[in-house]
């Protein structure tokens, strides 16, 4: 399968924890069984209305490769050192470009296979078009990871119960919703969450939602770990 092949390529070409800039050298790795794969730091492609990103952005990152059979069936092999700080957010993105008030539905279903090691979260990252607001929905987490900002309470919205945190990273407001129990599959109705932020809490106005990303925010995956998105759908209307 593609994840094993990419792991072999990456191990052959990289030591476990090379500097972030060197990772881009893996862009020359040959294509394998998947429709698309890359080990390039910023590698990306469009497949069936979704955009795939390798997206290795944190300092001290190691090797990482992403493969895809489609925009909704893809995976990552990552070997990031056991140190603090987010190293990457490989993800699949669906463009929405609709205001909250004009949306009648914004839902997503997911099914993933994730490791019982390392430190990471499986999350949606929802952005407005101006990138003033970031809404993160953590459906799964493992290891010593935590959200930005302060705890705001617990709410049940969109079919799940969440612990809510609110913070500021210096560039934008961040609203983090952490599912109170781990999940590897399910459906999230995101529109009630956006309306709760807008109408109930008044933390933002009638923003235009630019895109919905889904992926893995990886802090550490020492030795090489596999993250697989078996199925993903994002529906806006």
Catalytic residue numbers read 134, 217
**Structure letter (DSSP) for residue 79:** E
Query: For residues 3 and 67, is the Cβ–Cβ distance under 8 A?
Result: yes
Distance CA 35, CA 209 (A): 29
**Residue showing tokens 């010593």:** 144
Q: Could you tell me which residues are beta bridge partners of residue 162?
A: 155, 179
- H or E segment and range at residue 152: strand 150-157
Measuring CA to CA, how many Å separate 137 from each of 13, 55, 189, 205? 35, 19, 11, 19
- Side-chain half-sphere CA neighbours of 99 within 13 A: 6
**Residue showing tokens 């492609």:** 45
- Would you put residue 171 in left (φ > 0), alpha (ψ -120 to 50) or beta? alpha
């Amino acid at each position: 399968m593609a994840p094993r092949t990419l792991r072999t390529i990456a191990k052959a070409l990289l030591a476990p924890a090379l500097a972030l800039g060197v990772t881009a050298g893996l862009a020359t790795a040959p294509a394998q069984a998947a429709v698309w794969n890359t080990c390039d730091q910023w590698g990306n492609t469009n497949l069936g209305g979704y955009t795939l990103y390798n997206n290795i952005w944190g300092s001290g990152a190691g090797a990482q490769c992403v493969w895809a059979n489609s925009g909704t069936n893809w995976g990552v092999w990552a070997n990031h050192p056991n140190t603090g700080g987010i190293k990457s957010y490989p993800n699949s993105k669906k463009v929405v470009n609709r205001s909250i008030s004009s949306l009648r539905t914004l839902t997503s279903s997911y099914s993933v296979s994730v490791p019982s090691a390392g430190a990471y979260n499986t999350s949606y990252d929802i952005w407005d078009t101006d990138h003033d607001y970031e809404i993160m929905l953590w459906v799964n987490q493992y290891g010593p990871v935590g959200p930005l900002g302060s705890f705001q309470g617990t709410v049940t919205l969109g079919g799940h119960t969440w612990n809510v945190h609110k913070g500021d990273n210096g560039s934008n407001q961040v609203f983090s919703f952490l599912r109170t129990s781990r999940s590897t599959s399910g459906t999230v109705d995101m529109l009630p969450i956006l309306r709760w932020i807008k109408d109930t809490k008044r933390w933002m106005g009638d923003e235009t939602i630019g895109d919905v990303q889904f992926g893995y925010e990886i802090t550490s995956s020492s030795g090489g770990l596999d993250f697989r998105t078996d199925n993903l759908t994002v529906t806006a209307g």
